[in-house]
Structure formats: C-alpha cells, structure tokens
Structure 1
C-alpha cells in the first residue's frame, strides 16, 4: 500500500510516517498544499490523508481538483473543526472519510486500511479477484487455474497496482513513482521486463495487460 499524507504539522507527519512504516505501508509526505496537489495528481496512491488547513492550496481545493480530473483515490480529510457542517461540506466535495484532530493514530491507520479496500474488484480478506485470477497482496501470491505462484517483490507491486484498479491506464511515470519511488532514475525498459513476466503468468486467464501506445499499461479483460 502507498499512502500520501498532506499535513503541515511536521511533528504529526513524522509520527505518522514512523507508525505507517511499522505497518509496512509506504508513505509520501507533503507539508504544504501546493506540493500535495502535485503529488496527488500523479494518481499513484491507495489512500490520501488530507488536512484542510494548509499553506498554499487548501485541502478542499486539492480534493476538488482531484475529483474534477477523475482521480477516485479514497481521501480521508483531517480537520481541527468539529462541526457537522464542515464535515458534510468535505464529504459533498468528494471526501470518503473524515477525522477530527486530535485523533488516535490507531484509528487513522484502521481507516486507511479500510478505504484501501474500496476498489472496483472483488475483495476477500487480503485477496483481490479479476477475470479468473486471484492475488494475495499480503503474501505476493498469484493464483491461476488453482495453481499458486509466489512472485518477486517488484513484479508483485506491479500486479497489486493493476489488480486494485483494473481498466485504469497507468503511465510509465506513475509506475516508476509507485514502485521505485519519486526520486528514482530507473529506466522505462525495466518496467517492460516486469510487464513481460506478468503477461506470461496471465496467458491462460481471462485477463491481460494491454499496452496503451505512448502512455503506459492497463489490466483488462481479454
């Protein structure tokens, strides 16, 4: 799982980064709204934790910009305002959940995990299903024709990215940012190697990884 936290209080982001890492959840942090908007636009996250009051672009504007662009990533809004009107307004703009400061970190982590499961594939425990394939995201296990395959880490991360959002095109930049990190100088040819391996595994299923010429890749039905 990869989570974006947009929050200007550095002590909060440092604490959350530590706690999420203990849960083996990858975190990117933005301490102002402008940086948060740039990262959110990449559409590589499973969940975004978004403060409302931010320097630069505020959280509501970030959320509205995301939704107008078709970005459906689940968003948890953080706010110090504890009124029903504020919460309703955030939800009306496209937020999926709301948490009022101060909050219990365990509750935030639980809500992030719950939201990450709200995808357009069928979710059973830690297993996603699509067109005859099953993928266990926790144990890197791919099930094809009742056969179990444990796949390498980078290939597993790519498979997770595809199966959580089938029929969505992922650009090569998105894939690199998601799997290798924002500062990576990895070559695009590396992606093709992992895509090639996954395609071979899906040969006899109802799913395929399609190349969208000049853009990237998507998982779809054959």
Structure 2
C-alpha cells in the first residue's frame, strides 16, 4: 500500500514514516506542508493520505476539501490535537474518512489503515503507463519493453514513476532526493546521479537515444515521447 504522510512536526513525521514502513510494510512519502501534500496527492498514486490538520501553507482540512472538490476518491485520515466532537464532525464533513487525535498509538493507526484498505475506493491512476516501447505496471511494479521484462530495483521504480508523473518538467536533484529517499535523509546528490544513471542504462536504446536528459547544474528532465 502506498501512503502519503503530511506532517510538519519533523520528529513525529520521521517516527510515523519509519513505523509505517517497518511495522506495516507500506511505502510512505512524507511532506511537511499542505501545498506539497496537495501536489503529491494529485500527481501520484496513493491508497491513503494521512494529513495533519495544522500545517504551514495549507492546513489538512483545506487539502481534504480541495481534493474532494476535484472528485479525489482515495482514503484520507486526519491527524490532529483537536478532540472536540464539533472538530471531528467538521473534519469528517470536509471529506476525511477517519480522524485520529494526538497523541495516538501506532498500533491504532495501523489498525485503522487496515480497515481503510479493505474498503473500496475510486480507481487510482492508470495501472499501466505506456511510453515508447515501454510499459510500466504500477500494480506489479514491473517494467517491460516489447513484452520483455526489465528488472528494476525499488529505488529505480520509484524514480521512473516520479519521472512519468512529471514528464517534460525539469526535476532538481533536491526534489528527487526528497521524494525517493525522504526528507531528512543523509544521502547525497551522488546517490541521485548513480540511481539516475542505472535507470537510464535500462531505458536507453542501442542507437544512443535517451529519454532522461541531464540539465547541467540543475537536475534531470524525462521526455515521455522520446
């Protein structure tokens, strides 16, 4: 299950991400403000969003309202210290599927996520994305070219999916590092460059055509139609 966690408390965010990945076996992207939460939710395929109510730039309730107004169908959980009945009603009326007050136990959050996973929500992004002679199956996380499977590491898959979501746009090394390794990670831009090179080697054809272009001093651009 793919989860987007939006929490501006660095200590709590790091702990929740770690526990969800370790105890739940989930893939978790973590952002620290509402604008990034909205951007990630609209541009990626997540099964559940976990949104802190009080965040900078845009609060969790406003993110929830914005997504629901555009017919976003995936599950949303609100995290907040607000524990009055009226606050809970307000959050649920904004479009949240569940509401968890702080402080909370991780086991309870995991249990609530299991319940949400059993429900039927709207379809996510296309399960299979085709570009050139390639096809990426988001469900099985498999890449194929002319029906021949190409093995991808978990990082390479995440990187390719991120490129596909941003085809034609320049992605900085910082944006890639934060998305693939997570905010606060101690890896360097060299890790980004090595992972990009490994993915590029698997995508480039024998004629030397490349669909991942290096933008000197900035980052990379993925051309889906190359």
Superposed pair shares fold, TM > 0.5: yes
Instruction: Note if 1:208 corresponds to 2:211.
Output: yes
Tell me which residue corresponds to 1:144.
Answer: 145
* Cα distance, 1:216–1:114 mapped onto 2, change above 3 Å: farther
Deviation at 1:139, TM superposition (A): 5.0
Tell me which residue corresponds to 2:99.
Answer: 101
Tell me the distance in 2 between the aligned counterparts of 1:139 and 1:21: 21
SS in 1 for 2:78: strand
Gaps of 5+ in 2: 80-86, 101-108
Tell me the distance in 2 between the aligned counterparts of 1:192 and 1:212: 12
Asked whether the equivalents of residues 4 and 45 of structure 1 are also in contact (C-alpha less than 8 Å), the reply is no
Tell me which residue corresponds to 2:78.
Answer: 78
Q: Count the aligned residue pairs.
A: 192
* Structure 1 moving runs of 4+ over 4 Å: 13-23, 41-47, 137-140
Provide TM-score, normalisation by structure 2: 0.58
Asked whether the equivalents of residues 50 and 75 of structure 1 are also in contact (C-alpha less than 8 Å), the reply is no
Instruction: Note if 1:193 corresponds to 2:194.
Output: yes
SS in 2 for 1:98: coil
Tell me which residue corresponds to 1:134.
Answer: 135
* Cα distance, 1:41–1:101 mapped onto 2, change above 3 Å: closer
Gaps of 5+ in 1: 91-96
TM-align CA RMSD: 4.6
Asked whether the equivalents of residues 169 and 216 of structure 1 are also in contact (C-alpha less than 8 Å), the reply is yes
* Cα distance, 1:17–1:155 mapped onto 2, change above 3 Å: closer
